């Protein structure tokens, strides 16, 4: 069980040939609890990959401290870093496999480096390949595999030495949506069955929504928002978080779409937010029915976020003008309701 703590971490790259230095990461603090899947999300250039390279000690932070388990890796000499890296697994967008080696040899490689005896290595490789569902492909060469299979090999290799932490940099960004989901399910199993802490970097909101427990949003080197996936998704504060969430969750219709909806629907249009732990849907519908107001859902929906449900629906309300107005007033007292007319 390994927790990862970043305290005021910064990384400045010196400017090349007289150009200004690049502040890639600035004053980032993140607490990743042991056994947690923590996602770091942000646009390209936000500093995500740099942050990950600081955590596995491939690059040195210019400020702050980084603890991986009990090891403070900031300022450790290379000789000591190697031992810490053995406790950290890593997977990549481009898989980074050895093309001239078989699947089994790829997975075996870190065990050879770690000095494990040959008989033990064979047993461990077989066990790992079974776990990732590639038991039958041990002798295949990696370029005979699909992208999803290649990433499974990457995961098996990353797990070979029993790391406490797995770092994933855009691990599913090169895969189609269906394959991406399969790999995410596998990462979820890695987390649940072995208790491995996962620090996952992505620019894809769907990845966060599907498997992460907590999320840090990065923008221009800084951590601009942090919290449980449900809290950040259902009530994003920073503008960057709001832009990301809008791509992954049902929203109120954009202005041009709203004009289109109005042209097709004569009733009053209202948008209601349905939050797990918030107002119950039957309360909304009975409040409307009690006043003889009929309702159609014209936009939006309900989805799963961080294991809870979240929805935003646009409703068309039809009935007596005063009854509709009363129903809206009554609902505004109970629910998060916005009138769109």
Structure tokens given for 297: 């859902």
Measured CA angle at 125 (ends 124, 130), to 5 deg: 100
337: tokens are 């309701």
**Binding status of residue 94 toward ligand ADP by CB under 6 A:** no
Nearer Cβ to ligand ADP (25/324): 25
Nearer Cβ to Mg ion (49/65): 49
Tokens of 36: 């947690």
Minimum distance between the CB of residue 42 and Mg ion, rounded to whole angstroms?
9
Locate 206 and state its tokens.
Answer: 């769907």
Any idea which residue has 């053995």 for tokens? 86
Q: Work out what residue 306 binds among Mg ion, ligand ADP, none; the CB cut-off runs from 5 to 8 Å by kind.
A: none
The answer to whether the CB of 47 falls within 8 A of the CB of 221 is yes
Rounded to 5°, the CA angle 73-74-78 comes to 65
Residue selected from 10, 47, 250, 253 as contacting ligand ADP according to rule CB under 6 A: 47
Residues 6+ apart with CB under 8 A from 117: none
Closer of 202 and 273 to ligand ADP (Cβ) = 202
Are β-strands 71-72 and 88-92 bridged in parallel, bridged antiparallel, or unpaired?
unpaired
Q: Does 314 bind ligand ADP (CB under 6 A)?
A: no
Minimum Å distance from CB 173 to ligand ADP? 11
Residue in 313, 195, 325 with CA at minimum distance from that of residue 268: 325
Give me the helix-helix angle, 118-131 and 147-159, nearest 10°.
Answer: 130
Q: Which does 187 bind (CB under 5 to 8 A by kind): Mg ion, ligand ADP, none?
A: none
- Please, which residue, 46 or 155, has the CB nearer to ligand ADP? 46
Which one among 49, 179, 251, 281 touches Mg ion, defined by CB under 5 A? Answer: 49
Binding segment for Mg ion among 46-54, 114-122, 174-182, 277-285 (CB under 5 A)?
A: 46-54
Whole-number CA gyration radius for the chain: 25
* Size (the chain), residues: 341
Report in angstroms how near the CB of residue 224 gets to ligand ADP at its nearest: 13
Scanning 43-51, 111-119, 145-153, 239-247 for contacts with Mg ion by CB under 5 A, the matching segment is: 43-51
Site map (CB under 6 A) of ligand ADP, residues 175-214, x = contact: ----------------------------------------
57 is a site residue for ligand ADP (CB under 6 A)? no
Task: Count the site residues for ligand ADP by CB under 6 A.
Answer: 11
Q: Indicate which of Mg ion, ligand ADP, none lies near residue 223 (CB less than 5 to 8 Å, by partner kind).
A: none
| Residue 276 burial (CB count, 10 A) | 15
Q: Tell me: does residue 45 bind ligand ADP (CB under 6 A).
A: yes
Could you tell me the two tokens for 238?
A: 């920073």
Is residue 230 within 8 Å of 54, Cβ to Cβ? no
Answer yes or no whether residue 22 interacts with ligand ADP by CB under 6 A: yes
**Interface pick for ligand ADP out of 4, 6, 9, 24 (rule CB under 6 A):** 24
Which tokens go with 214?
């907590």
Q: How far is the CB of 48 from Mg ion (least distance, A)?
A: 5
Q: Using the rule CB under 6 A, give the single segment among 45-53, 68-76, 82-90, 129-137 that binds ligand ADP.
A: 45-53
Distance of CA 237 to the CA centre of its chain: 17
Residue 92 is encoded by which pair of tokens? 């990549």
Site residues for Mg ion per CB under 5 A: 49
Site residues for ligand ADP per CB under 6 A: 13, 22, 24, 42, 44-50
């Amino acid at each position: 069980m390994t927790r990862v703590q970043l305290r005021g971490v910064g990384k400045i790259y010196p400017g090349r040939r007289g150009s200004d230095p690049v502040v890639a990461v600035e004053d980032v603090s993140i607490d990743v609890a042991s056994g947690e899947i923590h996602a770091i999300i942000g646009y390209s250039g936000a500093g995500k990959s740099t942050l990950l390279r600081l955590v596995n000690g491939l690059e040195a932070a210019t400020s702050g401290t980084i603890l991986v388990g009990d090891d403070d890796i900031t300022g450790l000499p290379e000789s000591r870093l190697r031992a810490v890296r053995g406790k950290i697994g890593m997977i990549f967008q481009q898989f980074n496999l050895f093309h001239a080696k078989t699947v089994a040899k790829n997975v075996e490689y870190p065990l050879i480096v770690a000095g494990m005896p040959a008989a033990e290595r064979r047993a461990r490789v077989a066990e790992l390949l079974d776990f990732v569902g590639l038991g039958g492909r041990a002798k295949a060469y990696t370029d005979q595999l699909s992208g999803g299979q290649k990433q499974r090999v990457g995961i098996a290799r990353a797990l070979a030495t029993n790391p406490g932490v797995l770092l994933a940099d855009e691990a599913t960004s090169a895969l189609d949506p269906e394959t991406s989901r399969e790999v995410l399910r596998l990462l979820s199993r890695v987390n649940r069955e072995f208790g491995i802490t996962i620090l996952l970097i992505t620019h894809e909101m769907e990845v966060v929504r599907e498997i992460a427990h907590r999320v840090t949003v990065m923008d221009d080197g800084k951590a601009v928002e942090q919290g449980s996936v449900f809290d950040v998704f259902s009530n994003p504060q920073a503008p960057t978080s709001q832009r990301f969430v809008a791509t992954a969750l049902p929203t109120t219709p954009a202005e041009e779409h709203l004009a289109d909806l109005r042209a097709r629907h004569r009733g009053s249009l209202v948008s209601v937010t349905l939050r797990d732990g918030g107002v119950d849907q039957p309360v909304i519908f009975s409040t409307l029915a009690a006043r003889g107001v009929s309702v159609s859902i014209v936009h939006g929906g309900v989805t799963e976020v961080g294991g809870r449900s979240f929805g935003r629906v646009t409703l068309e309300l039809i009935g007596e003008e005063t009854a509709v107005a009363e129903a809206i007033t009554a609902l505004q007292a109970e629910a998060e309701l916005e009138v769109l007319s």
